[in-house]
Amino acid sequence: MYHYVRDTEKTNYPKIKALSIGKFKNQLDYLQKNYKIISLPDYICYLNGKKDISENSCILTFDDGFSDHYKNVFPILKKKKISACFFPITCPLTESKIPVVHQTHFLLAKIGSEKLAKEFNKLLVEKFPKIAKKFIADNKVLKQKKCVWDKSDILAGNLKYNISLMPGKAGSEIVNSIFNRYFKNKEKFCKELYMNFSQMREMQRAGMFFGNHGHYHLKLTRISKKEQKEEIIKSKKILEKELGEKVVFFSYPYGAYDKETIKIIKNEGYSCALTTDFAINKGKDINMFALKRLDTNHILLK
């Protein structure tokens, strides 16, 4: 599971947590040496009993649809003749809206966790006093234990965690308010951060695959059944119209899902769904709508 792949020191946001292009190449070399890299469709065929695969098979997946994936990842994959599956978010491309999770990342990179927490906590108390005590961001204990790379900045980790759990639109309202002060041109920001449909079609023609990651990148377990359905269907329709192919793979935003989410995913014709649960998928007797993944941070190479 990959997200940002960039040489941060060459960008306007050197503090973004990303995998460098050099380390990405090293990881690919390691994976090619030790595993058989296959496509997600190949794996689904295997799980359905229609194809055999090697025991040491591995699949590359890229979430969020960053321009990094077109500019930095795609040329390398193409040269190595490796296929991968990409899961873009659609709201930045159709509405020039930036998901709250990415607004938070770039605010942290621009102003730092202490300043962001101070502004966040101030607006939280002013606008949502009833829930302020529960969601005040501090640096006492890291709340999201599986995000081990946040141990170096507990305050940043807790900010991200609290924002993702806040009820209704409280979190997005606060973050949007702060983001608008520091980033004036959202349309330009979207064009720079995310790959466009033309680039996706080029990647598609070269053997890459695309799945759905939601329209607004909402935490599906925190919204109603109706909202879940809208979030899952809207982005699917947009991608299918633009890419000219059925979209049958889903990656849960934040890795969040429940029985209702899986039911909707199945009813909408998806063949599988990917989580952020860190583990290896073994054998055929597994839940195809709760496939586990390892994060790039788990491949510790020099």
* Angstrom distance (rounded) from CA 94 to CA 78: 27
What average pLDDT does range 261-287 have in this prediction? 95
Side-chain half-sphere of 93: how many Cα atoms within 13 Å? 22
- Model confidence at 163, pLDDT cuts 50, 70, 90, reads very high
Chain segment 225-235, per-residue pLDDT in tens: 999 999 999 99
Quick check: helix, strand or coil at residue 274?
A: strand
Angle at 228 between CA 194 and CA 291, to 5 degrees: 70
Query: In whole numbers, what is the pLDDT of the chain averaged over residues?
Result: 94
Question: Taking a C-beta distance cutoff of 8 angstroms, is the pair 4, 16 a contact?
Answer: yes
> What length does the chain have?
302
Token pair belonging to 19: 């995998």
Quick: pLDDT tens for 99-148: 999 999 999 999 999 999 999 999 999 999 999 999 999 988 877 766 65
Residue 298's pLDDT is 77
Q: How far apart are the first and last CA of the chain?
A: 19
Q: Is 224 helix (H, G, I), strand (E, B) or coil?
A: coil
pTM of the predicted model, to two decimals? 0.95
pLDDT tens-digit map of 77-96: 999 999 999 999 999 999 99
Q: pLDDT digits over 164-173, tens only?
A: 889 888 999 9
